Amino acid sequence: MFALGTDTFVVAGVLPKIAQSFQVDIGIAGQLTTLYAIAYALLAPTVAAIAAHVPRKQLMLSGLGIFVLANLATALAPSFTIALVSRVFAGLGAAMYAPTATGTGATIVAPERRGQAIAIIVAGLTAATALGSPIGTVIGGLSDWRWTMYFVSAIGLAAGLGILSLLHDVPLPPKVALKARLAPLQDARVGWTLLTTFLGMAGNFLVYIYFSVVFDRVLANAFVFGALLVVWGTSGTVTNIALARVLDKVSATKLMFVVLVVQAATMAVLPWASAWLWSAALAVAVWGATGWGIQGPQQYRLVTVAPAIAPIVLGLNTAATYLGVTTAGVLGAVGIHLLGAHQLGFLSVGVFVLAILSSQKAGAAIRRSASPDVPGNVRPAPPRSAQPAR
């Protein structure tokens, strides 16, 4: 997951060099991230349904194999078109691996340790923002962007060797058809929550994908670039740890409101804050903390409203995340041409306002479904400890 996350985020760090290498506009170069994200988002639920009969270890190794070869193809690409095609295959490899890895992690440990196992696996993505992406950016800054892709391939290869030698055969999960996987979208609570994830991540990555041109006034060298990315990823990691302690005590809807409002405010001042290093670092820290603060409350809401099909709705949330990244790449490219790179924050504010409205709609739908006064709803049973002894 660290390798997959690094691949997702590191392209933003070497985007100017990629654009220069292929002699394309930076907005066009940003579509490398767009194609990777959309391939992942669309293929993850499809692969999960089609390959339900494939042994888990075999599917993960196949996914990592495609992922590694696709990144090598990106590094060796003689033209931008071939680079774009290679990103689609990298997204396919990620789609084969990530959902399978999460499900496998939950099945190879005792039931009481499943949450911990999933948290460790997902932590690979967070660690990629704090370590993988900055390291890859520095590598690309000191040499050539193609070495960054070799770096990603090496991480994926190391992970594949670890799985090959250490992971035993894993029992196949029950087969769930693609139609059944998409059925939760008919629930308003799930639909509004997923739309919030989509809009929140679109607003977040609208600026991140074009980080190098939004902050070009302070990026004196590759080390400054890498340091800002470390700040972004580390602050997000800290937020995730902190939210894990309060989610059971504070309304997820209230947390989302605060997170999204702070995100919008940060993006609103970014055109000025990005002009000086000290203010840029402060803005990046707040942005990273709130940007990654979206996922915890969103996953909590989905698991709360649909506990029986938690893996399916969490998979849909992942798809919404990457569709948001896809949209961000396109919106950012358009925004650079219409507003200029330094003004992209204003466009992001508009997306976050929509996310706030969507989040409030999700919260209202969840509250209505929990109310015993609504026809068809049932008051929850008291906790086991509160029920009278038989």
Q: Are 263 and 357 within one domain?
A: yes
Q: Are 160 and 190 within one domain?
A: no
Contact 336, 212 (CB under 8 A): no
In whole angstroms, give the CA distance from residue 154 to residue 32.
Answer: 20
pTM: 0.75
Q: Are 184 and 157 within one domain?
A: no
Mean pLDDT of successive 10-residue stretches along the chain, which has 390 residues = 87 87 89 87 80 85 96 95 95 87 76 68 76 86 90 94 87 67 80 94 90 88 85 81 72 90 95 94 92 81 76 78 86 90 94 96 87 44 40
Q: Is residue 388 part of a domain?
A: no
Q: Are 307 and 206 within one domain?
A: yes
Q: Are 261 and 322 within one domain?
A: yes
Q: Are 206 and 168 within one domain?
A: no
Q: Is residue 277 part of a domain?
A: yes
Q: Is residue 385 part of a domain?
A: no
Supply the range of the domain harboring residue 57: 1-175
CATH number of domain containing 206: 1.20.1250.20
- Report residue 38 as tokens: 């959309």
Q: For residue 223, what pLDDT is reported?
A: 85
Q: Are 168 and 227 within one domain?
A: no
Q: For residue 185, what pLDDT is reported?
A: 75
Of 123, 144, 175, the domain-final residue: 175
Q: Are 150 and 95 within one domain?
A: yes
For residue 192, how far is the Cα from the chain centroid? 18
Of 175, 205, 240, the domain-final residue: 175
Q: Are 48 and 194 within one domain?
A: no
Q: Is residue 258 part of a domain?
A: yes
Domains in the chain, number: 2
Q: Are 140 and 185 within one domain?
A: no
- Give which of 348, 329, 335 is closest to 36, Cα–Cα: 329
Of 138, 159, 175, the domain-final residue: 175
Q: Is residue 382 part of a domain?
A: no
Q: Are 165 and 181 within one domain?
A: no
- Report residue 293 as tokens: 């603060």
Q: Are 14 and 50 within one domain?
A: yes
Q: What does R_g of the chain's alpha carbons equal in angstroms?
A: 21
Q: For residue 239, what pLDDT is reported?
A: 79
Q: For residue 173, what pLDDT is reported?
A: 67
Q: Dihedral, CA atoms, 77, 78, 84, 86, nearest 10 degrees?
A: -30
Q: φ, ψ for residue 231 (rounded to 5)?
A: -60, -45
- Report residue 291 as tokens: 């940007």
